[in-house]
A = this chain, B = another copy of it.
Amino acid sequence: MTELTVGIDIGGTNTKYGIVDRNGHVYFQGNIPTTKFEEFQDYFDGMTIALREGVKQLPGNSKIVGIGIGAANGNYYTGNIERATNLKWKGVLPLAKMFTDEFNVTCILTNDANAAAVGEMIYGNAKNMKDFVVITLGTGLGSGFVCGGILLNGHHGIAGEVGHTSVNPAGRYCNCGKRGCLETYVSATGIKRTVYKLLADHLEPSELRGISFDLLNTKMITEAALRGDIVAKEAYEYTGRILGMKLAETAVHTDPEAIFLFGGLAQAGDLIFKPTIKHMEANLMPLFRGKIKVLPSAMQNQAAPILGASSLVWDFLDKRKTVLA
């Protein structure tokens, strides 16, 4: 009998899903546009059909032991998605209960950055770590904390919103309603805003002057920086400086062994890691200097969000075994 879990990553644009084993082997995967469904019930029905289709294709001796879901504003305790700003369905969506009722298996739901942290622990570079942080650099900046081997959920199930700590209270407008949040500077969107700010303030020629805000993406900025574009290079330096300064604050809260960077920005390698580490060290309380590793996530592939979500189930089952043993 092969035990398998379903992993579902609900993004504002697409929902990725897959069926995987404990070693991270993906037996089946697919995705459907999240935005296609006006009604939440229709979305759920669509997901149900897609997953049943996947189950049909599995080897005969396999068994689904649980469903893990990562979603912005997912609450671990309630199993609900609560007032997500990136989804069109408003209010409280009791997704974990709906999947449990439909498939009669455990369903664990949490926010996508928490899922990424557990994914790093189960499949990635944090396999032997008990205290670490994963920073996800996508449209926004998410974070997941593992402390003493346990995902930190907090009292209300919403721990780890480092993206909404303050860089400048009078700074850039943030989707959350505040100004100057970390994610307005450090994220795929943040570095675009920085490029545009630099283009506005400086006179240097830059190949990025020919690209509209809507078209500009992280990959273009990275490639321009690697070709020596001064604005693109400065944008990475600025992004890393702010990330490093704020990681120095996060580090003294939970004292992690390592901080992993995940996502498009993290794939820029030295462009982002060098200034981040330099400025984190410079801003760290001296007691912490030289102690906190900043590392790339091992989960840099297409299946990462599915693996992260599915890892929630393995982690749950591992811990239950320990308690029952």
A residues touching B (Cβ–Cβ < 8 Å)? 73, 83, 129-132, 145, 147-148, 150, 152-162, 164-166, 169, 176-178, 181, 245, 248-250, 252-257, 283, 285-288, 291
Contact = CB atoms under 8 A, between A and B. Distances in A.
A253 B287 contact: no
| Most chain B CB neighbours (cut-off 10 Å) among A154, A248, A287 | A154
A51 to B, nearest CB: 29
A286 B176 contact: yes
Nearest to A160: B253
B254 A177 contact: no
A166 B249 contact: yes
A155 B130 contact: yes
A291 B156 contact: yes
A177 B255 contact: no
Given A249-B165, A249-B249, A155 B255 contact: yes
A161 B288 contact: yes
B253 A250 contact: yes
Contacts of A145: 253-254
A180 B181 CA distance: 20
Given A169-B245, A176-B285, A285-B178, A157 B253 contact: no
A77 to B, nearest CB: 11
A285 B164 contact: yes
A209 to B, nearest CB: 32
Contacts of A286: 176-178
